[in-house]
A and B are shown apart, each in its own frame.
Chain A
Amino acid sequence: MSTSTAGEEIVPTTLGGKAADYLDQRLGIAGAAKKNLRKIFPDHWSFMLGEVCLYSFIILLLSGIFLTLFFTPSMGDVTYNGSYTPLDGIRMSEAYASTLNLSFDVRGGLLMRQIHHWAALVFVMGIMVHMLRVFFTGAFRKPRELNWIIGFGLFTLALAEGFCGYSLPDDLLSGTGLRIMQGLVLSIPIVGTYISFFLFGGQFPGHDIVPRLFTIHILLVPGLILGLITAHLILVFYQKHTQWAGPGRNDKNVVGLPLMPVYMAKAGGFFFVVFGFIALLGGLVSINPIWVYGPYVPNQITAGSQPDFYIGFFEGALRMMPNVEFNFWGHTLSLNVLVPFAVVPGILFGGIALYPFIEAWITGDKREHHILDRPRNMPTRTALGVAGITFYGVGWLNGGNDLIAIRFNLSVESITWVCRFLIILGPIFAFWLTRRICFGLQRRDRDKVLHGAESGIITRSPEGAFSEVHTPLSQGELHKLTAHDVHRPLTLTEVTDANGVPAPNLRRAKLRAKATQWYFGQRVEKPTAEEYHESITSGHH
């Protein structure tokens, strides 16, 4: 395009210029382009985790479309007669037979299946890691609470989507998984049996579940995910990315590199890198070799029947739960199933979804935040997160208790018992330990600010004493290490009315005062300017 000053008519000369001009005359794209082409994105490896999720979702869409061209979502009986001869003459569903054909007769079919499955694991793993990053850095705070909720929605949809996909091939593992799911549904009080019959079109397994899950898996859930991802990205774009504290970076700006060209190349390149990596996995590492499992038959089972990793927590919780069941007035309440399948995950997931609001209420912080918290500077939040990871991790671990028992020559019962205690005690210990570590790290930062960084150079004084030379920090580093707020607990007076009249909800106010005391009661103060000058001038380090 020719450059020109304001007011001069712009006459496009190149083909691309002409196309842009054509669109601009109809859509006015130049305005949007002017604003967004040089949009700034900050550089940090942890900001790439969400992109992993986005890209693996695109890979899932692409490979999934290919798979639908060959997969037959039907539970109709066929006798297999394909090129996988060990299953020759065996009765199976059309779904399973078509998956075998995909794997052995369609060129690139096995590759696409494996890419699809690996991408699914990367998708869910990416979401989990991305959520942890956002949690530990406080990126969910105002104004991004809504995007946290959207992200949480994407997380739960991804779990559901993964489970549906796992169930489609109708092999022995996926059928077993569905059977377990149906057993879980049956435990729901009052409506469980009805939901099960509506879901399966009658008794389990029936003939409807695969086609129904197919529609859910390829249309309903991906549609929702696509919509939510769009909203998620629009909000990220509109609200601009958060950034780490550092010289020149504050809550009013964002420092980084422009979308055009740097982030187009970096993010675009990352898509291809992720896709290439997953394609290599698909070509080199087996995943879900359904032909080895055999078709689903309700009286067959294999040792080590396991779900994909993201269902592992539920599986482990189911294995761990003591066998509590109540019978009353002709009804059965199976807490041994309901608690690990619905109650505990409900509390855990509810807590995750609502955390931004709970924390904002406890801290009373209504300001906008664009500078991320270093996890150590929010010890209670970080400790809660680690406690949550521990809780989830113990459940997850117990989901593989049989394989652990085999690998390490232990008894599966003792692993289960250890996990039963560990799932309660582990998070408590993790919470305590993480807070201690955070305070320790904060003190180290404080020492670094006041006395400089350890240089590794040892000097010997004329008197013979050895000491390490501490290098004073640059002002940029000083700023970075002191940019955070040290929060203080709200006192009860602060939560009462300005005139000293008790707030209408005194009970709530008291609870809040307690919560904020728990949250911020123990803290490490930042060094003040006076302390710093004192330290510098005394030459004390």
Chain B
Amino acid sequence: MKPKDATAARRGVPPTDISNPNYFHKIVDCQWACPTHTPVPEYIRLIAQARYTDAFMLNWESNVFPGILGRTCDRPCEPACRRGRLDEKPVAICRLKRVAADYKGDIEHRLPKVPKRKNGKRIALIGAGPASLTVARDLMPLGYRCVLIEKDPQGGGLMRSNIPRFRLPESVLDEEVDRIVDMGLETRYGQEVASLKSVLDEDFDAVFVGTGAPRGKDLQITGREAGAANIHIGIDWLSSIAFGHADSIGKRVVVIGGGNTAMDCCRTALRVGGKDVRVTVRSPRKDMKASEWEIEDAEKEGVPIFDNHAPQEFIVENGKLTGVRFAKMKAEYDEAGKRTLVPTGEEVVFECDDVLMAIGQDNALPWIERDIGISFNEWDMPVVDGTTMQSTRPNVFFGGDAAWGPENIIWAVAHGHQAAISIDLFCKGQSLSNRLAPGASLVSQKMGIHEWSYDNDFSGDRRVPVPHADNQKALKDLDVEVELGYDDRLAFQEAERCLNCDVQTVFERDLCIECDACMDVCPVDCINFTFNADEANLRERLRVPAANEEQDLYVSDALKTGRVMAKDEDLCLHCGLCAERCPTGAWDMQKFTYVEAQASPSCAAYSTSYLR
């Protein structure tokens, strides 16, 4: 640093360290928000090029279940999408993922090879949900023998028992579960583990617990016992429908709860005999836990949602449930914004034949002995290391809902990857902190004077709605998939909405002549040349004040005039106009690639090929 720079740096925000991969990774909002850090913009570009198989492989390597997730993911990426902050709705990332899965070609030869000669280590995986299946996928190419133990007759866990077929066709689920089972996974379906000790006694080298949160919460109010025959725990009822143990429900159904399970319950009820199905929620509608799109779908099928309704009593007459009495509530907020629900005094009775309760889930680990070295915390949850997924007993690992309470599939996959890395290190006798850093690279996309290797033009199109099956037809059959998915034309249109946030604006201070061209051309006014100051002051003084503090400022070292370049990353379109208007190449558009390390490098071979 020259003396002048040193002074400037002392005075204000220090120059941004872009050699830290987290800086650019954070700008790729979707990838950063995704628990498995799937390279979203990269696979969306591949979809736009109709390279569906390649797009699928990028997905499969990181999130293992692209077909399933492309239909059911909780999509933390979409609320994070820059596009949502800019004009209207985020890119339909989840539905584009489905496109990759639906239109892919043969991938058999691209899957990691499982060695015939094993490494001599045996791993037990308890529960056949996404967490365990991910551990198996990651470990088997290394020669581990994996044994999957599951109480249900088939694999898939809650993906099979709780997600209705009209959202996730069985063929899609089977394909993605079988892809892992066919790697040579030993399965013990229909075997419920009653004692962890007995599993440990089989001398496995390590045990992974991925049993989810399978116990639906109950509501102990008057009439619960008396009306038991027609009061069902939501997830148990969904499960009995999924496995064919039940195939009907009464005409009038009251669903209690406002989460995604409640939405699955009401929509399933409509398909197995329910005519008057209503959802009731204690809280105001805006606080409902269900994803916005799942509420939309339920309402579209004709399910009314009654918010601010707190159940008080199951009304049972002559030994039969006849209705539910609710107290109407209203939300009051104190000065800190903390909500309290208070009764308005008004009450209402909804007559019904059946009640479905979907008010939350707990994990259930009574089968784990408390004297085998596994510590439990004050909430009766196992004590698990957040990075390694290891319990207090070194050879037992946890992941997914079993470890962290009800989350969603994509988190379970992320835990599975980390657990697999830990199990591999553990079996090799290495320290669990000996984890490989993620791979990252930054490569210029310049092809010519105004040509880039990505489509930098901005598409002003609105989010493309996904075509749905005809309502009448869909409501008749539990197996008719409601969402039809994009065709190639719609997929292209939606893919073009992606801003390519992984193609980064990289600034080279020494080349800048401070001509202002980039600042003047930027369509969203994110580039500034100004005097440095502390961050709050600097944010306030930009062309458009940088109000979104979750998004970083990219600040250069002092320039010749003593000013700095300060870019608010918040709404950058990644259109490359700054780099096109720069006469000296001080700005360049460089593609940032980020690949998480996995237990088996062959499971990330295609993703890794993008690193330069």
A binds B: no
Residues of chain A touching chain B, judged by Cβ–Cβ distance below 8 Å, are none
